Structure 1
Amino acid sequence: MFSPSIKHLIQEKSGSFLIPASRIAFVQDDNPLYHAFLILTKIKYSKIPVLDKDELHRH
């Protein structure tokens, strides 16, 4: 599926492509806006996913 050079690059840099689950932050779509703001400022992420009640990503 991938060329050998791409496979090598992915294996070599895998730590920079994936974020450990323990470092992922998200908000629910019914959380107040200030809750999302607090998470963004505390963790210093520029974006966080918003999940609905079924834990599906909202666009």
Structure 2
Amino acid sequence: EKLETLFIKEAIQSNMIELKGHRAVGGIRVSLYNGISVEEAKKLVNFMSTFQTNNS
């Protein structure tokens, strides 16, 4: 739970929003159906990879 909170906080600092999962189940949710660019998807992948490296 603390790791999810940190992930969301750092994502927001990186201008990535709406990644928090549904309030009933929690977790992280990426809604790709909202039409993001390839560059935005790559930014998310890089962020997630860096986050994993820094927090594992």
TM-score when scaled to structure 1? 0.29
Choose between structure 1 and 2 for higher RCO, CA contacts under 8 A separated by at least 6 residues: 1
Structure richer in helix, relative to its length = 2
Structure richer in strand, relative to its length = 1
Q: Which has the larger radius of gyration?
A: 1
